[in-house]
Amino acid sequence: MNRALKTNCQEVIFLHYKQFKMKKILFYLVLTTVFVSSLNAQKIRLNAYGSYVFDDHVESYYSTTSYFNGTIKGGLLWGAGLEFRLHETYGMELMYLRQDTHAPVNYFDYNANRAKNANLDLAINWIMLGGSRSMKVNDKVEPYGGLSLGVAILDSKNPDNNNATLSATKFAWGLRLGVNIWASERVGIKLQTQLMSAVQGAGGGIYFGTGGAGAGVSTYSTMLQFGLGGGLTFAFGH
């Protein structure tokens, strides 16, 4: 095994080890936070989400043999959240959101030694934990806002490379503003706008590798997704 290939293999092993450690730390952090929040919660809300997220252009250029540019296409973002109301005006929420989309890209294939185009199949899974602050204007209208932190798990399939599947886990954050419109004491309609970001989430090493160790683009680009939508909220407890 030559030195370059050995180094690339070590980098791939180290990358997978880092992703495993991140997932493990996140799991214990979420478990602890949910447990503590549930003990202190006065009420619990089950939230269902559906929104449209817009196209996001991503690109990165490191050298003539390490670059990519493309678009993560917009589409439906759906999911659910469990919100623990620690006080009348604030709470903590654990959310899972998912988007299945495509990403037309242009990138440099290291093994083929030429530029290529591909239309990637892309699944983005968001696991987020965040706080929300709300204020009841009256019995029906409740504006809210919040910040969330977590991870984005990105799974891609490159049809230009025998449907090679690659995955990566990246730190993520989100912002949202919205309003709950309560149809009754227990059921409400959510309207909201949100911004989600996977830091260094769109990268050649994630999506465009040719399957060999270290092959493919190694540069990264932060992903930003703006969405408009809403959902339903169901209140439980006293």
Q: Residue 104 forms beta bridges with which residues?
A: 119
Number of domain units in the chain: 1
Output 228 or 29, whichever has higher pLDDT: 228
E strand segments, 13-140: 43-53, 56-63, 66-72, 75-85, 90-109, 114-134
What b/e readout covers 160-194, taking b as 16+ CB neighbours within 10 angstroms? bbeebebebbbebbbebebbbebeeeeebebebeb
Output 107 or 35, whichever has higher pLDDT: 107
What sign has the CA pseudo-torsion 142, 133, 77, 188?
A: negative
pLDDT tens for 157-199 read 888 777 777 788 888 999 999 999 999 999 999 999 999 998 8
Domain interval for residue 105: 3-237
If you count them, how many residues does the chain have? 238
Write the DSSP symbol of residue 159. Answer: G
* CA-wise closest residue to 210 among 113, 125, 122: 113
What H or E segment, with its residue span, contains residue 156? strand 141-158
| CATH number, residue 79 | 2.40.160.20
Mean predicted lDDT score pLDDT of the chain: 78
> Count of CB atoms within 10 A of residue 27's CB?
11
Q: How many helices (H) and strands (E) does the chain have?
A: 2, 10
Which pair of structure tokens corresponds to residue 213?
């160790």
Output 27 or 178, whichever has higher pLDDT: 178
The span from the CA of 149 to the CA of 151, in Å, is: 7
pLDDT tens for 53-105 read 999 988 776 666 667 788 899 999 999 999 998 888 889 999 999 999 998 88
The span from the CA of 181 to the CA of 139, in Å, is: 9
pTM equals 0.77
Q: How many Cα atoms within 13 Å fall on the side-chain side of residue 232?
A: 5
**8 Å CB contact between 188 and 180:** yes
> Count of CB atoms within 10 A of residue 35's CB?
9
Which residue type, as a one-letter code, is found at position 217? Answer: V
> Count of CB atoms within 10 A of residue 45's CB?
21
